[in-house]
Amino acid sequence: MQLRTIRPFSSAHKTHTPPMPPVKPNPSKTLRLLVVCPSWVGDAVMATPALRMIRRSMPGIFIGLLCKPGIDEVLAGLDTHDEIHVARPSGVMGPKFIAAKVRPRRYDTALLLTNSFSTALIARIAGIPRRIGYDRDARGMLLTDRLHAPKRADGSWAPIPACLYYHRAACALLRIDGHDAEYLPADAQLELAVTPEQQRAAEEILASAGVEPGGRVAILNPGGNNPAKRWPPDRFARVAERLIEKHGMRVLVNGAPGERDVISAVINGVREPLRDRCAALCDMGVNLGSLKGIVRRCSIMVTNDTGPRHIAGAFGVKLVTLFGPTDHRWTTIPTRPGGEELVLVADPSLPTDETANDHPERCRIERITTESVIAGVDALLEARNGGS
């Protein structure tokens, strides 16, 4: 079938959206801010434009982040915050224990970029006077500033990009216009950094994977938290062969430890002798910190709708992203200068007032053809090489 290519947050959108205006915050209102970060890797990365806006608008305040283990590795190295509190709620007493960890910092404001009841409860138990967040998950009574997430006519949540969702929350914190913005500011970008320790770990893994200095590298993400979001491994294998044969690349296959079967299926599906130019990152001790350095080194990523996609977007790595029964509009991302993303959807004819989530069979990821993905890879890499 013929698939449509979508370029999220295109320049056409950005020309209608002015840069973020300067903000003069009242220091008597917020001096110590706790930002409760999203739990998923991709969402945490999509929150970085909001974190940057807050830091730029309120440069003199103390900003702490509260996040789950692993997310601290993702956000490490950024100067958008002063401290990271790492905690995972566990059991009935979890919120109380976490609140006890942040209470000594005497935060006067909490911005909840999560939607859960438990994170709002943590902020309340910690005694933080001002608590800003979306009124969801029956937590409205715990918030002092209740934000309303947009809904569709049938009452379900509207597919607003997470970057914009967090941007609106940041606008509420800063008390500036933007609570109902339709697009991000033109200068908003995903943003990550790699610490020296993370870079050293990345270089060791790349060397173990046979990546030579100056060699061209591609990375594939065949996994995903939901099996329905996974494009078939044998098709990823065909893409790997194309990257090796036509573009002379070494191919890294990434995934969580629990996705070893999927990763093995991709590599074993690559025909000999090309298979020797593939490597499974999960067998090399990769973690989220070192993964940032590895992704930054790559020329292109081919991926399902997974967290590493957003890491690539933050570093301006070329992207081909595949969406099946989840709507791409939830995770639309701004691309950095030099970066470009091609989004392939299973059913480009789906009306805009409906979402792919509503039609799991019609929007099966298997409907995305191998030919369309290879064409997208070739187009991005040939454009990078000036058409050569």
Say yes or no to pLDDT of 22 above 50: no
Say yes or no to pLDDT of 10 above 60: no
Say yes or no to pLDDT of 20 above 70: no
Say yes or no to pLDDT of 227 above 80: yes
Distance CA(74)–CA(308), nearest Å, equals 10
Say yes or no to pLDDT of 240 above 90: yes
Say yes or no to pLDDT of 385 above 70: no
Average pLDDT over residues 126-143: 96
Say yes or no to pLDDT of 9 above 90: no
Burial category of 265 from C-beta neighbours within 10 Å (exposed 0-12, middle 13-18, buried 19 and up): middle
Backbone angles phi, psi at 68, to 5 degrees: -80, 160
Say yes or no to pLDDT of 2 above 80: no
Per cent of the chain over pLDDT 90 is 76
Say yes or no to pLDDT of 50 above 80: yes
Residue with tokens 């044969």: 245
Residue 207, both tokens: 């060397």
Q: Is the dihedral of CA 318, 320, 262, 162 positive or negative?
A: positive
Q: Is the dihedral of CA 358, 8, 113, 21 positive or negative?
A: negative
Say yes or no to pLDDT of 143 above 80: yes
Say yes or no to pLDDT of 376 above 80: yes
Task: Note the pLDDT of residue 5.
Answer: 36
Say yes or no to pLDDT of 19 above 60: no
Distance CA(219)–CA(297), nearest Å, equals 10
pLDDT tens-digit map of 190-225: 999 999 999 999 999 999 999 998 999 999 999 988
Do the beta carbons of residue 198 and residue 296 sit within 8 Å? Answer: no
Say yes or no to pLDDT of 23 above 70: no
Task: Note the pLDDT of residue 3.
Answer: 35
- 203 CB neighbour count, 10 Å cutoff: 16
Amino acid identity at 239: V
Task: Note the pLDDT of residue 339.
Answer: 76
